[in-house]
Structure 1
């Protein structure tokens, strides 16, 4: 159910993920939703966002740790995200952005889970930039810039149904980070 909910949230946002659709996608009877998630759709959405966040954190962490440089790691992560989006017919992008973009219709705990996901990714980038020798303040600023750029490229990719925005960002990462 969590995986099905994560996919629905990514495609449709919180308001677009109806209970009947969530149950159908998760192949679960109605009673099981409230049995496993006493907080209903809201609790399921929070847990789905946490699972999606953990997956992106793992992906990003692996690429940043295994690469010979920050830019190379980010490029590999961007390629994997673009591949994933393309395979879904550009229905997927960032697993939390659809929730954030529909935040007016999203309960506070669900919005907070999305914000926490973004914060954890920014923290991961900040730590990696610190390892490059930047100050704490400069690392935080550049991590925010990089994360904003990635989120924007993923949004543009979905809107244009093309991986070009992510590929263009990938080419500009070195200049964006100015790690000379």
Structure 2
């Protein structure tokens, strides 16, 4: 089944924001990549590009939430980190370090407060999910909340550094440093 214009617009936006951030995701490029018309954009996203990028951020966030759910379903927390690091190392290498996390791109969209708020909501959701999983693994609630926030922040920062340096070393360093902390609970 062929994807409709709404889906193509969202998918193209996620890809472009992963590569160039929100400012680099120009409307003409989004329309060209999605093979959608301007009329389709405004039919599905009446508020235009900002509404599209907000929705794409939510979709990308939900997909990563599903990855977190799969990862935290088995093994101890340090293995969750290893799985997430491995997932990102593969994604970065596959794209030759050209794509990162679209939620970070949205978070940096200072000129688009709605987009930035959507990214903040995604980060909050990830923190809550990871804190809940850490709590289920026996980590006290306050410590689980702090570790979850540290895990998300450190992972996102390592992804940004890996893209900039064209190396997975920041992710390796993250795993080597945060892994023992997660084992200690």
TM-score range, shorter chain: over 0.9
Q: Is the 8 A contact 2:77 2:183 kept in 1?
A: no
Q: Deviation per CA, 1:109-158, whole angstroms, max 9, x where unpaired?
A: 11111111111111111011111222221111111111111111111111
3-state DSSP class of the match of 2:99?
A: coil
Q: Is the 8 A contact 1:71 1:174 kept in 2?
A: yes
Is there any run of 5+ residues in structure 1 with no aligned partner, and where? none
Q: Distance in 2 between matches of 1:68 and 1:145?
A: 19
Matches within 5 A, 1:119-130: 119-130=124-135
Q: Is the 8 A contact 1:64 1:74 kept in 2?
A: no
Q: Distance in 1 between matches of 2:181 and 2:76?
A: 14
3-state DSSP class of the match of 2:184?
A: coil
Q: Distance in 2 between matches of 1:86 and 1:74?
A: 18
3-state DSSP class of the match of 1:14?
A: coil
TM (normalized to structure 1)? Answer: 0.92
**Is residue 2:183 matched to residue 1:175?**
no
Aligned to 1:74: 81
**Is residue 2:148 matched to residue 1:140?**
no
Instruction: Provide the aligned length of Structure 1 versus Structure 2.
Output: 177
Aligned to 2:41: 33
Matches within 5 A, 1:106-121: 107-121=112-126
Q: Is the 8 A contact 2:11 2:56 kept in 1?
A: yes
TM (normalized to structure 2)? Answer: 0.90
Q: Distance in 1 between matches of 2:16 and 2:65?
A: 20
Moved over 3 A (4+): none
3-state DSSP class of the match of 1:16?
A: coil
Q: Is the 8 A contact 1:6 1:95 kept in 2?
A: yes
Aligned to 1:11: 19
Is there any run of 5+ residues in structure 2 with no aligned partner, and where? 1-8
Q: Is the 8 A contact 1:85 1:93 kept in 2?
A: yes
3-state DSSP class of the match of 1:104?
A: coil
Q: Is the 8 A contact 1:126 1:139 kept in 2?
A: yes
User: Aligned match of 2:53 in 42, 45, 54?
Assistant: 45
3-state DSSP class of the match of 1:172?
A: helix
Cα RMSD for the two superposed structures = 1.4
User: Aligned match of 2:158 in 148, 153, 156?
Assistant: 153
